[in-house]
Structure 1
């Protein structure tokens, strides 16, 4: 039996993934009929998914049309401030609560991610998985929910800072420092390492934006 709620969930997840993977970038218009055809679902769950994404601020309205929202300089700065605070807290809690198995998963991720050094797109996806694993290792459901919202908004940044020359190697070195602190149960060091990681990513993105406006 068809479950309309399942259809809505699938439509929402598929559109969100398309935005997250930059198949749709800020400024792109999203048309119900085109999305329904692309994802093979009816227009009703598409319409409901678009309304949900608009409510979350991921889409913006231009007249009767919906388009992928964009972040201005101030909004991006605000997003990185919140991300740094919440990610740092997640790392601190992970240092306290992560199981040996969860630390092992993080170590395995670091090793596998070495194979993505020449593939910024794959490394960007791996980076999101890595951060998500730290969120889960915090063992705080409310923090995980808030970080999910933050990372959805990160999808509105049209490019990944990891693509910048030298950034892939630096990213993995920073990830290693975070995991080492979590592994050692050092909450202060884990918090500081993850905040430093976010700060460096933000500086890289500011440089990207500055170059784009030249």
Structure 2
């Protein structure tokens, strides 16, 4: 039982570190360093790394495991899937969310106004906001699929919320999503969330296009 708990904890700790940018695409993950950082023995670390490799979150570079990265086409494919699944979650949330869940979502939008000058904090809050919508769909299978999608989103080295003006726009989009869910308007909730993902993707593409190709 203790071994199973350690395995789950090791996997979750590494996944969280990738999600929060502690380890970025291209970074090498070393068993003994991870074991020391997280205070877990090497065996559950090794098993967690194998699991992450199976999920394509880590890839082999010779004998080393590194955090995977997404190329342009992979990113496009991921956003297509994310748009459809997130839109469905919003549609279902409009039908099934409890008043308490809607109140929590509205509160998240209000609280994020104080985070507009902190992209890292806003990105963390953004993940919680979307997760809350997933849960409000009250569909466990959809939540599982969206968890997989959001694990892959961690392989994008930067957050689109760091782009100037994007945080404020995203907050307004979140407000429109919550308003549609609160009205029980599934079509509007789906459209608002799909539009939100589309604008985030467009902002990321625009940002990427401005980078020096030699970097």
TM bracket (short chain): over 0.9
Cα offsets for 1:70-125 (capped at 9, x unmatched): 00000000000000000000000000000101000001111111110110000000
The count of corresponding residues between Structure 1 and Structure 2 is 213
1:172 corresponds to which residue? Answer: 171
2:117 corresponds to which residue? Answer: 118
Cα offsets for 1:24-51 (capped at 9, x unmatched): 0000000101111111111000000000
Cα offsets for 1:122-163 (capped at 9, x unmatched): 000000000000000000000000000000000000000001
User: Match of 1:139, SS?
Assistant: coil
Counterpart Cα distance in 1 of 2:125 and 2:41: 32
TM-score, scaled relative to structure 2: 0.98
TM-score, scaled relative to structure 1: 0.98
1:184 corresponds to which residue? Answer: 183
1:94 corresponds to which residue? Answer: 93
1:33 corresponds to which residue? Answer: 32
1:57 corresponds to which residue? Answer: 56
- The answer to whether residue 10 in structure 2 is matched with residue 14 in structure 1 is no
User: Match of 2:201, SS?
Assistant: helix
Deviation at 1:211, TM superposition (A): 1.7
2:130 corresponds to which residue? Answer: 131
Deviation at 1:212, TM superposition (A): 2.1
1:46 corresponds to which residue? Answer: 45
**RMSD over aligned Cα, in angstroms?**
0.8
Tell me, which stretches of 5 or more residues in structure 2 are unaligned? none
Counterpart Cα distance in 1 of 2:33 and 2:7: 16
Q: Write out the 4+ residue segments of structure 1 that deviate beyond 3 Å after TM superposition.
A: none
Counterpart Cα distance in 2 of 1:201 and 1:89: 18
Counterpart Cα distance in 1 of 2:151 and 2:137: 19
2:22 corresponds to which residue? Answer: 23
